[in-house]
Amino acid sequence: MDSSFNKLLTFKKWIIVLMIFVLSSNFLCIQRVYALSDAKEFVLNAWTLVNEGFYDPGKFDEVQWKRIRQQTLQKQIETSEDAYSAIEDMLRPLDDPYTRFLRPKDYELLKASNFGSEINGVGLQLGEDENNKIKVISTLAGSPAEDAGILSGDFVNKVDGISSEELGLANTASKLRGETGTKVLVEVTSSSGEIKEIDLERRSVDLRPVRTKRLRDDSHTIGYLRITQFSESVPKKIEEALQDLKDKEVEGIILDLRNNSGGLVSSGIAVADSFLSEKPIVETRDRNGIKDAIISQKETSFDGPMVTLVNNATASASEILAGSLQDNGRSILMGEQTYGKGLIQSLKSLGEESGLAITVASYLTPKGNNIQGKGITPEKLLDIPDAIEYGNAEDKWVRNAEIFLESLLEKNDISNTDNNLFQENLES
């Protein structure tokens, strides 16, 4: 009896000890979580946003994403600068230049370019090539970079003496931005291999995302419509521009997407909707592999003949537009192979006026073509030099598009004449 009782008593003691241990461990864990500094909480929030949104969760297993979180939070992170650097280090193994931390200045400038009408900087839009070199996608019209003769396809080697390879894409772009009147020294290698140092003075660059004019010859009136980037205001501006061109009785349109490196995907889709009637615009694929096809509405803003100009700096949202027009047979593409950015980013606010750009999906053209790293091939390739100033009288690409569009209009005129003659014969 005593033996059984003692065993029971001993068992109960062990149960109590175990419960105390478990409760103590939980308490310590709770204390550890609550003991995180504000700076570490900031880093943890960034990790969580990426963990919940990044389009390729398989990459997490490859880089041991949870282990990266653990190792990062074990570091000494006390200040905002510590937190910023920790987040940048944390994102680097994902090997996605488009998923990046945006420091306050960069976040503000990116929002300004997406939602505003001007930005301060040198006017370079950058990307990375397959060797992780920083490449110029395009230069903004009227910018210091354009005035200095920097071209699409050039490589940025250094900014203020610091290697762009060391800086990475986001920090290279950040160092090029700044207050109006300040200067930055940029070392550039041209596509021909020439290396040169250029002292650029930052200034306010008027984005003017939509530009139009009327082209006339002896028999036809053609509208020229250029989109330099897809900011929030663009869809409305396109509607106004198309109405203005229709008031001028244009018969066809040359849509110029050269050096348009993208912007808001939603704006690119909205512009496609202006030209397509109940047709697929794009198909997106999220982290779960779910496809979501976006179909245009029935009403269009312009249904006449079109030619669309693209070059190797036509990227992202502008490729969505070009691909939708090409795959639906709505417009002939003319020019060069496009850049090949088929990934979609979401912009997340992170506090302290900073943010995260996270790649959340990939997209396919209506015919299921994945353009990431490949681009879109125009039906009509142009091997003549691209213009220095787009849309002016010396722009041979526009002239080629104009000649081709005139031939389409002539065919329409002949077809309409034949139909009228046929109808007259029936009536007689």
Give me the pLDDT at residue 175, please: 86
Residue corresponding to tokens 């996270």: 358
In which band, very low, low, confident or very high, does the pLDDT at 204 lie, cut at 50, 70 and 90? confident
pLDDT of residue 257: 96
Concerning whether 105 is annotated as a catalytic residue, the answer is no
What residues contact 124, with CB distance under 8 A and at least 6 apart?
A: 136, 139, 140, 143, 145, 150, 156, 173, 176
Domain with CATH 3.30.750.44 in the chain: 2-100
Asked about 24 being catalytic, the answer comes back as: no
Structure tokens of 30?
Answer: 């709770």
Q: Is 327 a catalytic residue?
A: yes
State yes or no: pLDDT of 115 exceeds 90.
no
Can you tell me the distance from the alpha carbon of 321 to that of 52, in angstroms, rounded to the nearest whole number?
28
Residue ranges, CATH 3.90.226.10, the chain: 210-411
pLDDT at residue 192 in the model: 85
The segment with the largest mean pLDDT, out of 29-43, 162-176, 267-281, 342-356, is: 267-281
**CA-based Rg of the chain, rounded to a whole angstrom?**
28
Catalytic residue among 138, 316, 331, 354: 316
Per-residue pLDDT reduced to its tens digit, 3-50: 554 554 555 555 554 454 444 444 444 444 445 789 999 999 999 999
Delimiting residues of CATH 2.30.42.10 domain(s) in the chain: 118-205
Closest CA to 332 of 268, 427, 417, 400: 400
Domain 2-100 belongs to what architecture? 2-Layer Sandwich (3.30)
Could you say which of 2.40.10.220, 1.10.645.10, 2.40.40.20, 2.30.42.10 is the CATH number of the domain covering 118-205? 2.30.42.10
Dig out the tokens for 210 from the structure: 């939509």
Q: What was the pLDDT predicted at 10? A: 58
Q: Which of 40, 237, 341, 348 is catalytic?
A: 341
Q: Is 64 or 173 the better-scoring residue by pLDDT?
A: 64
Average pLDDT over residues 368-396: 90
Mean pLDDT of 51-73: 95
| Residues above pLDDT 90, as percent of the chain | 57
pLDDT at 136: 86
CATH class of the domain whose range is 210-411: alpha beta
Choose the catalytic residue: 106, 154, 273, 327.
327
CB atoms within 10 A of CB 84: 21
Who has greater pLDDT, 1 or 195? 195
**Which is more confident, 157 or 119?**
157
Query: 120-129, 210-219, 417-426: which has the minimum mean pLDDT?
Result: 417-426
